[in-house]
Amino acid sequence: MIYSIFVTAGLENIARQEIIARFGDTEQFKIVMRKPQRIVFQYSGNPKDLLSLRTAEHLFVVIKHIPKMTRSRSSLTAIKSSLKRFNFTDTLACCRQVGVSMRRRIPFRVISRMSGFRNFQKRDLQQVVERVLIDRGWQFTQSNSGLDVWAEVHGQDAYISIKLSKSDMAQRSRKQARRSESIKPTLAYGMVWLSQLHPNDIFLDPMCGTGTILLERALAARYRYLIGGDISKDALQATQKNFGRRHQPRQFFHWNAQSLPVQPNSIDKIVCYLPILENNINSSQFANLYKKCLLQFEEALKPKGKMVLLTLQPAVLHKMLKQQQSLKIGQRISVDVGGKKGKIFVIRKL
């Protein structure tokens, strides 16, 4: 079967690395294509295993990939013809394997997406797919109780897919307390991945918010100790709620990251989403905040330790890092952060 996952913009390479690490050493797996925010791959194992991919926003089974799409309405005819001939037996069996219940008349709805100029609209694409499926005996519904069939045309490629993941795949249903400024768990996991996981990690998020990064590290692999802190008591209460009694050993502290009560050279990995520039803070104050925090992070980090920092102010962070000669910038990765342009810096202490 052919599957695809959607990922946050900028995490495509990390997602590829994750699925290769999970499935790449078996004959069941082969990457077919990598596009912006999408990875398409062949997998012959149980599709339920794919639901545990931590970089994935959504998981789809691909019904048809139709290449050589043009701007003309003849593209709609090609999609219609291809779908009319398709045998859905294996696809529906795949849906059942991930727990999707099936009725004799399969309820469905179609979500259409397009990019680029076409001589047809999204609604035309949607109606073509709906008509073919209705003619095959499926039952059209506008509720979310049926199969979500996605019809997409991007560039020269058309994809007709069925969504296998639930709506909370990216947000993780286990997380109970959220705040508007929290980053997505998928992005947090990408940052954790970049820190290079090790079972002896003493892992710190000095501005932990609701604990998203810490939770992703706890669930990713073994570790030695988790430490989190935040200046907001409300945020720490949310972190405690999200962790519950799980994931020991760990400790959470109410502190100011500009003055960390942490032993020098004691931390293996620091992963953190740095604060955004608020309207009432001028640029010099903000630069001073970054400078003080970086000095604290550097002091706490062991030699050859690693920092992974996400910021919406990359120019400020880059300038501060250049002033600290014991810190070496490795990767810089541009990512989408809730519709804003952010950048992840991967930094090593010399």
User: At 29, which CATH number?
Assistant: 3.30.2130.30
Q: Shortest CA distance to 294 belongs to which of 276, 268, 279, 316?
A: 316
Task: Tell me how far apart the alpha carbons of residues 336 and 323 are, in angstroms, rounded to a whole number.
Answer: 27
Same-domain pairing of 103 and 229:
no
Q: Shortest CA distance to 106 belongs to which of 144, 138, 150?
A: 138
Same-domain pairing of 64 and 131:
yes
| Tens-digit pLDDT string for the chain (350 aa) | 999 999 999 999 999 999 999 888 777 889 988 889 999 999 999 999 999 999 999 999 999 999 999 999 999 999 999 999 999 999 999 999 998 877 788 999 999 999 989 999 999 999 999 999 999 999 999 887 789 999 999 989 999 999 999 877 887 755 555 555 689 999 999 999 999 999 999 999 999 999 999 999 999 999 999 999 999 999 999 999 999 999 999 999 999 999 999 999 999 999 999 987 665 566 777 788 899 999 999 999 999 999 999 999 999 999 999 998 899 999 999 999 999 999 999 999 99
Q: How many domains does the chain contain in total?
A: 2
Same-domain pairing of 15 and 66:
yes
Task: Tell me how far apart the alpha carbons of residues 319 and 89 are, in angstroms, rounded to a whole number.
Answer: 57
Same-domain pairing of 205 and 154:
no
pTM > 0.85: yes
Sheet with 29-35, side-by-side order of all strands: 29-35, 38-43, 2-6, 58-66, 157-163, 147-154, 107-114, 139-140
Q: Helices (DSSP H) in the chain: which residue ranges?
A: 12-23, 74-84, 89-97, 122-135, 185-194, 212-220, 233-243, 283-300, 314-322
Specify if 170 maps to a domain: no
User: What is the domain extent for residue 131?
Assistant: 2-163
Among candidate residues 114, 131, 163, the one where a domain is terminated: 163
